Structure 1
């Protein structure tokens, strides 16, 4: 399969494909059904979803096959309820059906200086800001330092997750990468050339295609990652994400560590080193002091 074909296969997401993926993922017990002895069907049957959603089996089959008109808001609500979709999954379902406005990235220029200043006020907390396509638009010095420049302004979180360095450092890489793909599918601006470029490049990666073909969408949840740092060892780091209300798609991500933990000590020492280096850089030289009146 050439690069163009891989990209088309990865990019094509239909309402029917999304419904089928969620149906095959859900188990009878998750939707209030009793699992019959000897049941071999992976996930739910189409007729079970149809009954739970209040539509006919024939109509639901047409939806999965991509035939017929787009479902109404009432039908979408029934499908979301039947499949126990999360808020993100329900939102994405409505977008696929054409009942939601396209996601567009807001301008970062107006509040750029204010937000970058906030990151500088957190010298001991690694933090960065990314846009809807997961491009890093701002990062403080500590975040850039602990990631060896991988999460710097201009980098892309998803691409950095799938490069060799990202895979090698994270003990929890599999779950982190899967979550990142699900977030990109949900938040990404499908109308932008940047979104297409990221998708085209990553579609050559077998692991990315594996996660992308799950058709998962998700909002970020608090998580724990286990990262290995040369000369330090394994660190246990908490990751927290916060959306910026007035900037659609933008998110602040911070790394945190338990007080006294190896990660906490490492953050503090590195922060002190960066601060001392900055102070030395901006301190006046002896010749400058002697030249003053």
Structure 2
């Protein structure tokens, strides 16, 4: 184990994170930039003394479990996590699960698209972030539990109120097929993740459609370029669908825009004004 290198790396990663980044109060009279040692230890579920010894190059070689806790506490990227393992002398295993933290610059991008409905999805189709127009077009995701923001679960298990599957979108069948393909890839990238394998098991048990798509073995499907939402208030809204990959987070930014001058553009303008008020947008 490269003890000094490990300690220096841990210290540098600790000093770049602010308390507010990890949901801790900033407090007063902080003599060090970033997090305190005891805060990192708390987030990683290890003792402060043990963490201090690691930074001071006096600690024993940390286990995979400890390294996983440190990577999570310090919000390491995949490349940084691998580097941490190499410094500790422990070969890195597969990533523990799909990242859920969205880069601030991506969050800012989503909010800067006033005439586009935009959101961020994880590798297992969790809606992680969205702007106001996306909430008005599809659903106010802030009003439902995080578990129900998973579009894979919604596509195959519902609910489908008023016969509207996935917000009344025209390509629900094609999207379902792409979900099966995407989850197959996620299982390959995160073979030890209970949340990934658990989601697949849940869909296999609860949906004959998913079971059939899963058994097909498909590994590639084209992404749709256009789709139409059947909105309960403004009617059909046809949009262009563009997907931007965020490789370091294994996430996707999905952007829906309407053709300039079209009735769908006018519908989006209306939705941007009224938002989710007096709308039943559950699907």
Shorter-chain TM-score tier? 0.5 to 0.7
For 1:127, the equivalent position in structure 2 comes to 118
| Aligned CA distance change for structure 1 residues 190 and 147 (closer, same or farther; 3 Å) | farther
* Alpha-carbon distance in structure 2 between the residues aligned to 1:148 and 1:271: 13
Say whether residues 1:158 and 2:152 are aligned partners: yes
Say whether residues 1:205 and 2:207 are aligned partners: yes
Aligned-pair CA distance for 1:127: 0.8
* Alpha-carbon distance in structure 2 between the residues aligned to 1:142 and 1:179: 24
* Alpha-carbon distance in structure 2 between the residues aligned to 1:169 and 1:259: 22
Aligned-pair CA distance for 1:135: 1.4
* Alpha-carbon distance in structure 2 between the residues aligned to 1:268 and 1:105: 38
For 1:173, the equivalent position in structure 2 comes to 172
Q: Which runs of 5+ in 2 are unaligned?
A: 1-92, 278-283
| Aligned CA distance change for structure 1 residues 205 and 123 (closer, same or farther; 3 Å) | same
Aligned CA-pair RMSD: 2.8
Aligned-pair CA distance for 1:259: 1.3
Q: Which runs of 5+ in 1 are unaligned?
A: 1-100, 278-293
**Post-superposition, which runs of at least 4 consecutive aligned residues in structure 1 deviate over 6 A?**
none
- Residue pair 1:242, 1:251 contacting (<8 A) in 2 also: yes
For 2:244, the equivalent position in structure 1 comes to 242
| Aligned CA distance change for structure 1 residues 269 and 153 (closer, same or farther; 3 Å) | farther
**Residues 217-268 of structure 1, C-alpha deviation per residue, up to 9 Å, x if partnerless?**
2266242222211132222222111111332x11111112111223211111
For 1:4, the equivalent position in structure 2 comes to none
- Residue pair 2:169, 2:230 contacting (<8 A) in 1 also: yes
TM-score by length of 2: 0.54
| Aligned CA distance change for structure 1 residues 153 and 237 (closer, same or farther; 3 Å) | farther
| Aligned CA distance change for structure 1 residues 145 and 216 (closer, same or farther; 3 Å) | same
| Counterpart secondary structure, 1:225 | strand
Aligned-pair CA distance for 1:156: 1.0
| Aligned CA distance change for structure 1 residues 167 and 107 (closer, same or farther; 3 Å) | closer
Aligned-pair CA distance for 1:129: 0.8
| Counterpart secondary structure, 2:216 | coil
**Residues 178-211 of structure 1, C-alpha deviation per residue, up to 9 Å, x if partnerless?**
1222122123433211112211221111111121
For 2:132, the equivalent position in structure 1 comes to 141
- Residue pair 1:190, 1:196 contacting (<8 A) in 2 also: yes
Say whether residues 1:116 and 2:107 are aligned partners: yes
| Counterpart secondary structure, 2:223 | coil
**Residues 36-82 of structure 1, C-alpha deviation per residue, up to 9 Å, x if partnerless?**
xxxxxxxxxxxxxxxxxxxxxxxxxxxxxxxxxxxxxxxxxxxxxxx
TM-score by length of 1: 0.52
* Alpha-carbon distance in structure 1 between the residues aligned to 2:194 and 2:252: 20
